[in-house]
């Protein structure tokens, strides 16, 4: 298909204009309808996407790989430990070679302080679009799916309140990329955003500042609070999600101790009751059931997590079709 976005990188949604994002959402809606109606959409025949995964994945790998198949192309899964990356091959050489073989490179690299820098290094030398499948700073494809889901549920999104809240989840320190992409993009589409977290779980200062600037430019509110319930009160949408205290400490043991300091930061029926009657619960998954959220909420009528997960497929197909 013809596209003015052909060859564009997608490392953060912040780099795309509202008009460009609207083009993507319109195509995603059309591709979703085509799949429901059984219409084939061979927009990328014989094209290849190379997917480099430094981190494990369920939804991201399967939605990209399935999406390329439905578009008539082919996706190849690559693991750094089975590539020459593990022997020291640099980003430039990887970018140059894969650019000669296929039409797109997608990368997931969430190591804090490393992932985004690696993506940008590959993009600097790639001759094909580079797509961010999640890094340490951004998770733009997830937020595309989140916004498409909100738009499907509410139509006009201007004036809606979105609560983004930290939740307590054990075992490992999760990236900050999901909440950061949420607070960056949602105000641009007219949503008022309340970000709630304990003091130790602040996001990157430059991202919080950018989110404030985005909200001001859009004429909406962006506020930060250290009270969990503030994210739920009078909200239309809530996304309670765990992330690590990576801005506070890089020490894993200390990070896990801080997570355990706030066990009551959990989404439950009582917190959901603080929002509007039509309040919906969202989560990028996997959710830590019983810690981040109760089964009553995530399996209940206010939950749209599976609609949200499905929409990863549709927005990513639109993204690939427009850029590759």
Sole residue written with tokens 């105000």: 187
**219 Cβ neighbours under 8 A, 6+ residues apart:** none
Looking at residue 51, its pLDDT comes to: 98
Q: All domains of the chain, ordered by start, with CATH? A: 13-139+312-323 (3.40.50.1370), 142-308 (3.40.50.1370)
Looking at residue 166, its pLDDT comes to: 98
Do residues 103 and 130 lie in contact, with contact meaning Cβ atoms separated by under 8 Å? no
One DSSP character per residue, 274-297 reads TS-TT-EE---S---BTTTB-HHH
Looking at residue 315, its pLDDT comes to: 98
Q: What is the chain's pLDDT, residue by residue, as a tens digit (324 residues)?
A: 778 999 999 999 999 999 999 999 999 999 999 999 999 999 999 999 999 999 999 999 999 999 999 999 999 999 999 999 999 999 999 999 999 999 999 999 999 999 999 999 999 999 999 999 999 999 999 999 999 999 999 999 999 999 999 999 998 899 999 999 999 999 999 999 999 999 999 999 999 999 999 999 999 999 999 999 999 999 999 999 999 999 999 999 999 999 999 999 999 999 999 999 999 999 999 999 999 999 999 999 999 999 999 999 999 999 999 999
3-state SS, 48-117, equals: EEEEEECCCCCHHHHHHHHHHHHCCCEEEEECHHHCHHHHCCCHHHHHHHHHHHCCEEEEEECCCCCHHH
Using alpha carbons, select from 293, 281, 202 the residue that is nearest to residue 244: 202
Looking at residue 132, its pLDDT comes to: 98
Helix axes 140-154, 18-37, angle to 10 degrees: 70
Looking at residue 1, its pLDDT comes to: 75
Looking at residue 3, its pLDDT comes to: 86
């Amino acid at each position: 298909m013809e596209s003015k976005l052909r060859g564009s990188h997608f490392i953060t949604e912040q780099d795309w204009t509202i008009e460009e994002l609207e083009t993507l959402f319109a195509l995603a809606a059309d591709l979703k309808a085509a799949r429901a109606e059984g219409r084939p959409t061979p927009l990328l025949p014989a094209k290849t996407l190379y997917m480099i995964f430094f981190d494990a994945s369920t939804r991201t790998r399967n939605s990209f790989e399935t999406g390329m198949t439905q578009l008539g192309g082919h996706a190849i899964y690559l693991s750094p430990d089975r590539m020459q990356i593990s022997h020291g091959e640099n980003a430039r050489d990887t970018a140059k070679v894969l650019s000669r073989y296929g039409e797109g490179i997608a990368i997931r690299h969430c190591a804090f302080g490393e992932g985004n820098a690696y993506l940008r290094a590959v993009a600097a030398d790639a001759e094909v679009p580079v797509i961010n499948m999640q890094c340490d700073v951004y998770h733009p494809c997830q937020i595309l799916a989140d916004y498409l889901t909100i738009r499907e549920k509410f139509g006009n999104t201007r004036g809606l309140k979105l609560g983004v809240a930290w939740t307590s989840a054990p075992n490992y320190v999760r990236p900050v990329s999901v909440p950061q992409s949420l607070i960056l993009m949602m105000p641009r589409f007219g949503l008022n955003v309340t970000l709630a977290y304990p003091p130790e779980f602040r996001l990157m200062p430059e991202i919080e500042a950018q989110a404030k600037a985005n909200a001001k430019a859009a004429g909406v509110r962006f506020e930060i609070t250290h009270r969990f319930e503030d994210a739920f009160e009078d909200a239309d949408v809530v996304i309670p999600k765990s992330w690590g205290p990576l801005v506070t400490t890089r020490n894993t043991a200390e990070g896990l101790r801080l997570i355990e300091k706030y066990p009551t930061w959990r989404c439950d029926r009582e917190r959901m009751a603080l929002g509007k009657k039509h309040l919906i619960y969202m989560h990028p998954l996997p959710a830590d059931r019983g810690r981040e959220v109760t089964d009553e909420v995530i399996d209940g009528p206010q939950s749209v997590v599976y609609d949200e997960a499905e929409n990863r497929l549709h927005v990513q197909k639109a993204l690939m079709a427009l850029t590759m």
